[in-house]
Amino acid sequence: MKKVAVIDIGSNSMRLVMLEVTANGFKVVDDMKETVRLGRGLQESGMIGEEAMNKAMQTLSLFKGVCEVNHASVLAVATAAVRKARNGADLLERIQKDTSIEVTLISGEEEAGYDFAGVINSIDLSDFVLVDIGGGSIELVLVKGREIKEAVSLAVGSLDLTQRFKLADEVSFGQEEDLLKFLRTAFAKVKWLKKEKPCVLVGVGGIIRNIGKIDRKRKGYLPDIAHNYKLSKNDVAEIYQLLKSKNLLERSSIEGLSKERADIMVGACAVVRELMEYTGIKKLRTSGYGLREGLVFKHYINQGRRFDDVLESSLQTVLDMHHENKEHAYHVYHLYDEIFKELTDVHKINGDFSKINKTAALLHDIGVSIGFYNHHEHTFYMILNAGICGIDHRELVLSAYVAASHRLKKFRFNFEEYQLLLKKEDKEYAQKAGILLQIANSLDRGQVSAIKEVVCEVDKKTVMMRTIKARDAELEIKDAMQAAEMFKKAFGKELVII
């Protein structure tokens, strides 16, 4: 696996993300951020201040040391503040001279393209509007059929709005009116915003993630995961109202709000709220993948091509990272999928559970990378925290529970913790699916695909699973039959495997 360090020199903060990269994806192994505020005062002077420049150099010196220790390839970019500043080129020259880090200054349109690459390879959506609210710019992208149709970069960001309308502390009615009028005028210049009618807004960047975190904290929502978190238009409006109603000190105490962003959050959240009002979009998804991840996808993984199957690529990455036996994992999935489909009239589970079934079956053993004993419990935690893309939070939690249920040892799961997320019928699905996965895993207990196929025959009292074998599988069948008692309790029928 190759180690790659992405350095993002933004208007508000500077960030280093260290990743281990595989053919299909990556794993973040370190993440460092420093609030440098290169964009502060830029509107008035047109220059990056000396204090901010010195802090940037101090931060990059730290970043360079981390990169050297990790023997990482470095990919560094600068965005809006350096684009706008008259002395932006001087900063880049100083960085090259003092640290030997080569920084690429990217345009707003390039930034939008990298944002798109990050999102399209991590969220399973076809049509949406993408927004990235940076400190010095706002990128807007129209996506249709998983392709960019329109893209624009507005040369104003959260820092600019905060300074222009004096939003850092208390916000008056007049200040808010001026802010909203400014935003409506800016959006009106983007002709396609009003013309197109996408149903989802996907937001990237720290501002958007912070809005999502505030929402999760105020609701007591689990899992506390930023990527692919869903908010309604009303949620955004309520958070905006909460932020603007407080002064800076009061705002800093809002649970979930980063204190480093407290002064710029009113203007930033106003962008999201007004954008949803202007377009009529009622749903927001927060993305944990954006510019930095898009850079990695474009330069190190798929060279600008989109993954045809986001979930499959993500699962391949997790399997690679944990050195799993892929042949066994895919064979268990094959057997499980066969059994689940053939027993449709027995389990009586309605709805599309295909992504959950696939994720649970392929990753059921990843907990072994921590330790074999109680590895099903490790598997639960690891699936929740592996950064799996292409499924939503409900599917993720159910995948983790089903995967953790693949052994005879009973896995204790508190459905109440996830009551805001799970449906009433999900508990029945998860319990039944866990038993079927346990059987499928046992039927490949030797991990040599001794049983090629399973054909199910059902009568009033019995489910008979006829196995098609490539070799002797008596011990695999014996192992699978240990689930017979649980099977009868869940499905009301005797289990026979031959």
Residue 226, domain CATH: 3.30.420.150
**Pairwise CA distance, residues 366 & 435, whole Å:** 18
200 is a domain residue: yes
Q: 287 and 259 in one domain?
A: yes
**Pairwise CA distance, residues 24 & 232, whole Å:** 32
Q: 237 and 220 in one domain?
A: yes
299 is a domain residue: no
* Helices (H), ranges, 80-134: 80-84, 88-99, 108-120
> For residue 363, what are the domain limits?
310-497
Q: 319 and 422 in one domain?
A: yes
The SS3 of residue 362 is: helix
Catalogue the long-range contacts made by 208-211 (C-beta closer than 8 Å, 24 or more residues apart).
208/131, 208/132, 208/133, 208/272, 208/284, 208/286, 208/287, 209/286, 209/288, 210/256, 210/257, 210/258, 210/261, 210/265, 211/236, 211/239, 211/268, 211/269, 211/272, 211/284, 211/286
Per-residue burial over 62-76, b if 16 or more Cβ lie within 10 Å, else e, is: ebbeebeeeebebbb
341 Cβ partners below 8 Å, 6+ apart? none
301 is a domain residue: no
**Pairwise CA distance, residues 268 & 240, whole Å:** 9
205 is a domain residue: yes
Q: 133 and 90 in one domain?
A: no
The SS3 of residue 390 is: coil
- Tokens 């099977």 map to which residue? 487
- Cβ–Cβ under 8 Å, residues 209 and 260: no
Q: 485 and 340 in one domain?
A: yes
pLDDT at 247: 97
User: What is the amino acid identity at position 280?
Assistant: G
User: Rounded to a whole number, what is the distance in angstroms from the first to the last CA of the chain?
Assistant: 43
Q: What's the CATH number where 429 sits? A: 1.10.3210.10
Extract the tokens encoding 223: 């899992």
**Pairwise CA distance, residues 162 & 157, whole Å:** 9
Report residue 121: phi and psi, to 5°.
-95, 10
- Cβ–Cβ under 8 Å, residues 480 and 497: yes
Extract the tokens encoding 61: 């010196």
DSSP string, 245-283: TS-HHHHTTSTT--GGGTTTHHHHHHHHHHHHHHH---E
300 is a domain residue: no
Instruction: Report the 10 Å Cβ neighbour count for 296.
Output: 23
Per-residue burial over 227-258, b if 16 or more Cβ lie within 10 Å, else e, is: bbbbbebebbebbbebbbebeeeebbebeebb
Q: 187 and 277 in one domain?
A: yes
Q: 261 and 356 in one domain?
A: no
- Give the domain-ending residue among 293, 328, 352: 293
**Pairwise CA distance, residues 309 & 311, whole Å:** 6
Residues lower than pLDDT 70 in the chain: 304
Domain count, the chain: 3
Q: 447 and 325 in one domain?
A: yes
- Tokens 């390879």 map to which residue? 121
**Pairwise CA distance, residues 104 & 89, whole Å:** 11
- Give the domain-ending residue among 86, 105, 124: 105
- Give the domain-ending residue among 293, 326, 345: 293
The SS3 of residue 457 is: strand
- Cβ–Cβ under 8 Å, residues 158 and 139: no
247 is a domain residue: yes
Closest CA to 83 of 109, 61, 62: 109
Q: 247 and 140 in one domain?
A: yes
- Tokens 């009113």 map to which residue? 266
Phi-psi region of 205 (alpha: psi -120 to 50; beta: other; left: phi over 0): left
304 is a domain residue: no
**Pairwise CA distance, residues 211 & 49, whole Å:** 29
* Helices (H), ranges, 125-256: 158-164, 173-188, 191-195, 206-219, 233-244, 248-251
Element (H, E) at 76: strand 73-78
Q: What's the CATH number where 20 sits? A: 3.30.420.40
Q: 221 and 93 in one domain?
A: no
The SS3 of residue 103 is: strand
Q: 192 and 324 in one domain?
A: no
pLDDT at 378: 94
208 is a domain residue: yes
Q: 478 and 348 in one domain?
A: yes
| 26-34, strands of its sheet edge to edge | 26-34, 14-21, 2-9, 73-78, 103-105
